Amino acid sequence: MADLMFRAVDELAGMVRSGEISARELVQDSLARIDELNPDINAFVDVFADEALAEADDVDPGDERPYAGVPIAIKNNRAIAGRRLTMAAEFMGDFVPGHDDNVVRRLRAAGFIVVGTTTLPEWGILPVTDTRRFGTTRNPYDPERTPGGSSGGSAAAVASGMVPVAHANDGGGSTRIPAACTGLVGLKPQRGRISLAPVGGGEFLAQDGVLTRTTAETAALLDVLAGYEPGDPAWAPPPAEPFATAAGREPGRLRIAVTTSSPVDAAVPDDDAKRSVRETADLLSGLGHEVVEADPPWGQTGVLELFTASFGPLVSLTVAFAELVNGREMRADETEALSWAIYRLCRDTISSVDAAGALVRLQGFARLVIGWMGPYDALVTPALAEAPVTHGTIDPQSADPMAAFARSGTFTPYTAVFNVTGQPAITVPLLERADGVATPLSVQLVGKPAQEGALLALAAQLETARPWAHRRPAVVTA
């Protein structure tokens, strides 16, 4: 059973339920791998070994909870009662919330055992996980490269087999980007699908989710996490059937648009990014779909600036929470240069009227893109414009922090658009890179609004045609 942490979560839960293995043995295996690998990969902020083992001892064979005894990690930007919530920021200190966020509560109710919390860039801003407070998180496929961000710690933990699944969230690609960097499946669900209760609600960009190895696991866990919570200001319409059921169906013959055109003017997709779309298009055609080359109407001047004008206030709200916790304003020496620059931009330059105006314009942009997708069942784009960047390429402590922020946009130009439109999007690791970089090569699939089931069915069809879950990174095969 040396590969336990690489098995599907449903299989692991079934083993515990049948008595083939105990929950304690599963958790012990996870903790042993964390002890072995985390010193080099640096995926965890905190590990809850004693508590996780004690919780595992309370799980008996026959436990009817769907994932009783299965280890999971939570990104350290969601509250766990009695555990520190840092946002990877020095200014947050060691704040300890008194509640579980909705995603944590739902995962625990399903039987998952939280073994620890994972790293992220400070305040969740960048698509790389490299912080002043906790250091650099490394990609298990190539330690000199990033595992992505902002859910980089969760991605590194799952890809290396420290846990079989981990929580993630996505405000501009922060689930899909690390999935693409580490060969995992990363779904950003429809806006409003997963409640941000009890603290958040109505955020325009952010959505929670998970990082897994297979489409089936992602679909099943969406069923666990999805749904209304009392007080939600808005929520996605419930699906006609469970997402796991929809993902198990053949998608039928679809009309699918493909593009490599970039939403960010300065971003130029490399040869592998272009090949990912070309080969996916060929595979889809071979599966019987109608594939059409078509460029969405997103090459508009100022879209990146508008996104910043909405993303920046989202970051500032998090900082404002930290200021409330600390009882004072944050100082420049208590945060990274990039975080301070964005915070100052929002505080001193972007007025509330500017932010509201940017939101209105982004909503108009979203309607344009979604309207353009009307004739198509799905859209295929590159997941990333280039290979996962080496450490230091995007530096949160740069002397020119906004240049570093712009550089992140040329690395990951294809994801944030769909936080703006709100529609579901998923990255899947279909291919291998041809440029000598060891990381898998992913592609992004985008679905119609509130149609995660159809999107997951398409991803599952691609996975069946070209499986990927068998891959192992260098830290495992060495």
On the CB side of 282, how many CA atoms lie within 13 Å of its CA? 8
Write out the catalytic residue numbers: 75, 150, 174
Tell me the whole-structure pTM to 2 decimals: 0.98
| pLDDT value for 1 | 62
Tens digit of each residue's pLDDT (9 = 90 or more) over 139-153: 999 999 999 999 999
CB 276 within 8 A of CB 310: no
Tens digit of each residue's pLDDT (9 = 90 or more) over 60-72: 999 999 999 999 9
Give the closest residue to 106 by CA, choosing from 225, 280, 256.
225
- Residue type, position 81, single letter: A
Order across the sheet with 255-258: list the strands. Answer: 44-47, 113-118, 71-75, 166-170, 207-212, 185-188, 425-432, 440-447, 378-382, 255-258, 290-293
Tens digit of each residue's pLDDT (9 = 90 or more) over 288-301: 999 999 999 987 66
Roughly how many angstroms between the first and final C-alpha of the chain, as a whole number?
Answer: 18
Can you read off the two tokens belonging to residue 471?
């891959």
Collect the ranges in the chain with pLDDT lower than 50: none
CB 163 within 8 A of CB 194: no
Query: If residue 30 lies in a helix (H) or strand (E), which one and from where to where?
Result: helix 23-41
Tens digit of each residue's pLDDT (9 = 90 or more) over 74-115: 999 999 999 999 999 999 999 999 999 999 999 999 999 999
| pLDDT value for 93 | 96
- Residue type, position 367, single letter: R
Can you read off the two tokens belonging to residue 273?
């990014």
CB neighbours of residue 40 within 10 Å: 12
Phi and psi torsions of 142, nearest 5°: -160, 100
CB 73 within 8 A of CB 166: yes
Taking the CA atoms of residue 433, residue 434, residue 438 and residue 440 in that order, the dihedral angle to the nearest 10 degrees is 10
CA distance 422 to 236: 10
Mean confidence (pLDDT) of the chain: 95
In degrees, to the nearest 5, what angle opens at C-alpha 127 toward C-alphas 122 and 131? 30
Query: If residue 381 lies in a helix (H) or strand (E), which one and from where to where?
Result: strand 378-382
Can you read off the two tokens belonging to residue 293?
């080359």
Distances (CA, A) of 44 to 40, 154, 216, 339, 389: 11, 8, 26, 21, 21
CA-based torsion, 336, 339, 341, 347: positive or negative? negative
CB 54 within 8 A of CB 3: no
| pLDDT value for 355 | 80
CB 261 within 8 A of CB 246: no
| pLDDT value for 478 | 64
